Amino acid sequence: MRFRVGNLTAQRAMQREFEEEVGILVPLAKWRHVARMGGPCWEVEVFSTFLEDLSKAVKKTEETPEVFTVDDLPVGRMIDNLIWLIPLSLSVIRGTGPNQVEIVY
């Protein structure tokens, strides 16, 4: 996620990036902070949301949006940490996991 203009919060930046990538504006209140990952010189905020209808997702960048069930993720094409970040995000949304996690590399 890139911060481009002004003093945006990480949540607002996530909202803006998602809209820029797939054309769907998700209200700020629907974005849940799941985790903070970081190392000595970097930090990444991880957010999740749940949408019933992704039919309005459109290609707005060079990448085409794709939808997968959690049980059928394309593991071979994914960044390694998404294999556990996606289930973690679902557990936060469902209220069956921790409220948020801090991961230090």
What pLDDT digit, counting tens, does each position of 21-77 carry? 999 999 999 998 899 999 999 999 999 998 988 888 998 988 888 888 888 999 999
Could you give the CA distance from residue 26 to residue 40 in angstroms, rounded to a whole number?
32
Helix, strand or coil for residue 102? Answer: strand
Domain count, the chain: 1
4 has a pLDDT exceeding 70: no
Structural domain containing residue 48: 10-104
Tokens representing 22 are 């797939």
Does residue 2 form part of some domain?
no
* pLDDT of res. 79: 92
Please check whether residue 15 lies inside any domain of the structure: yes
* Confidence at residue 8, expressed as pLDDT on a 0 to 100 scale: 64
